[in-house]
Amino acid sequence: MVEIISVGQDLASGQTQNLGAAVVTRELLHAGVEVDYTTFVGNREDYLEEILRQALLRSGLIFVLGGLGSHHYDITKKILSRVLNKRLVLDYKVLDKIKQRFEKRGEVMPRSEEKQALILSETELLENPIGMSPGFLFHQGDAVVIALPGDPVEIKAIWTQEVLPRLDLQGLKKVPSDTLILKTCGLAESTLEEWVRSVVRSQGNITFSLIPYGEEVEIAMEVKGETPEEVEALRRDLEYKLRRKLGSYLYGTGEQTLEEVVGSLLALNRKTLAVAESCTGGLICHRLTNVEGSSRYFERGIISYSNEAKMSLLDVSPEIIREKGPVSAEAAIAMAEGVRWISQTSLGLATTGIAGPSGGTPEKPVGLVYIALAAEGRETKSERFYFSGDRNSIKLRASQMGLDMIRRHLTSL
């Protein structure tokens, strides 16, 4: 059996999503292996020790995520040392790498960071190319135990080069299987579930789960069969049917992000983009510029939060602000056209709304957001949205629908 144990008080208290476990689960599913147990534990040493001892009795492959850093409550290595009866020794190569990272920043390594260079004896070190804490792999009887940092980005960085080549997963594959990941935007989760069920119907060899993220929902489907050829045929047939059913709501597959898809479309169509943001506070620009090579199509972003900024930087008329208000379709359109004109780009995107928790009125409640897209040779479009959730959630949802508006324009959907 396969088991994941996530360590961290933030997970136990619900402050943080267990994204590290989600990454490992997905990578294993890609390799045709299901996870049998997923648990998380806070900073209680006795709890972690009990869970580890149970895992060693029942599972052949155990992942322990998190608790490897320098904080005083990072307990994973200490408990692993106790449960597996292994010594903790200082690895000077790891220590040197940690020191070098601090030196590059012009800082002296704090003494507390030495804790990250403590390695369990008789273990294989898993290089961490982007973080301080390396991972570990060791054998305990018939079980393989792998300890990794809890950060999902670091897990992805370690997985392909260090973890996967060391694993023999053939014995853990129950039946041939494959995973299909589809990314959607703008469709309610309940509606999406009905649509997917209508395609899957009662096929017992296909299971699926929906993972919502604001206005985006990921469909993770596992396909099983008697042979790899049967699985491949089922997966292809399933993807074909779902693409027809989802239509324009489907924006990508696998690890693709909405901003990557939008960036690819802008580059492919040789279009340039400028963005004027009010309620999203620069989040759309941040997401766009996270994509490598975005300088090919992203010209500039303007955060025009105040009325004065909208008027002075984007040439929004005082009459629109006074008569329609800064949160209005007219203001969004003027902002989009203003930023496109100033930047001389192919497209101009703008957002304006009320992210809350205060500032709402009966006529314009919290969550009201207008998004407009100006395009050369086209009439400027605007859409009105009512997003739910807290301030961060509303900003995220607005950024997703703003990016999706660009995607739909570039694909003429």
Exposure string of 296-311, with b = 16+ CB inside 10 Å and e = fewer, is: ebbbebbbbeebebbb
Phi, psi for residue 275 in degrees, rounded to 5: -130, 135
Predicted structure pTM score: 0.75
CB-based contacts of 395: which residues, under 8 Å, 6+ apart?
279, 280, 281, 283, 355
pLDDT value at residue 413: 64
> Residue 235's closest CA among 261, 206, 214, 202?
206
Rg (CA), the chain: 25
Residue type, 404: D
Q: Is the CB of residue 305 less than 8 Å from the CB of residue 281?
A: yes
Q: What are the mean pLDDT values of the chain's consecutive 10-residue runs (413 residues total)?
A: 89 74 85 86 90 93 88 83 89 87 85 83 89 88 91 90 87 80 94 93 82 91 88 92 95 94 97 98 97 97 96 97 97 98 98 93 95 96 95 96 97 81
Side by side, the strands of the sheet bearing 124-126 are 37-41, 2-7, 61-65, 143-148, 135-140, 124-126
pLDDT of res. 191: 94
By the 8 A CB rule, do 210 and 217 touch? yes
Rounded Cα distance between 136 and 63, Å, is: 10
Nearest 5°: phi and psi at 346? Answer: -70, -40
Give the whole-angstrom CA distance, residue 114 versus residue 91.
Answer: 9
d(CA 83, CA 64): 13
Query: What's the rounded Cα separation, in Å, for the pair 404 and 81?
Result: 49
Strands 118-120, 124-126: pairing kind: unpaired
CA-based nearest residue to 399, from 258, 290, 191: 258
Q: What is the pLDDT of residue 202?
A: 67
